[in-house]
Amino acid sequence: DHPMILYTIVSRVPRADNPKPKFRENIKEYDDNGKEVRQGSIWGQLFDCDIQFNIVASDYTIASRVMNTFEDAMFKFTGYFKQNGVSELLFKKQYTDSSLDRYRQNVSIRSIIYRATIDKIHLVFDTTIAEIDQSYEK
């Protein structure tokens, strides 16, 4: 009786213009006394992700209403997503996913795909062989 929204990542590929992580900036980490603890660098890489959302409901009308409400919410919260690591969020398509046909005898399903560009950040701290050896012994 209660509609559900399920999701899956259909694909995640590096952007053609950003095929590998790129250097962003050097960083230093300090302890509470202001003494430098370690240094490192920040690297970033952009990925295009296709995310499929499946809206499952007991009938056609409810599934369509939930899908429209979901699309409105995605539009409304795009700014929030962008503040939290999503570089871009675009509606890509609505379609009928044939792999879900067996469930359509009992429920109504709407499938939509959004394209999200994610900026994946890597923190790399300078490490010596001795530090690696010490961490292994713990």
Euclidean distance between CA atoms 15 and 17, whole angstroms: 5
Pairing of β 86-95 and β 36-57: unpaired
pLDDT in tens, 24-73: 999 998 999 999 888 999 999 999 999 999 999 999 999 999 999 999 99
Which phi and psi (to 5°) does residue 36 adopt?
A: -65, 125
- The pLDDT score that the predictor gives to residue 137 is 63
Q: What is the pLDDT of residue 9?
A: 97
State what percent of residues in the chain have pLDDT above 70.
Answer: 92
The pTM (predicted TM-score) of the whole model is 0.78
pLDDT at 132: 59
Question: How large is the average pLDDT for residues 83-102?
Answer: 92
Distance CA 131, CA 58 (A): 58
Q: What is the overall mean pLDDT for the chain? A: 91
Distance of CA 129 to the CA centre of its chain: 34
Cα–Cα–Cα angle for 101, 53, 89, rounded to 5 degrees: 145
Residue 129: is its pLDDT beyond 60? Answer: no
Asked whether residue 84 carries a pLDDT value surpassing 60, the answer given is yes
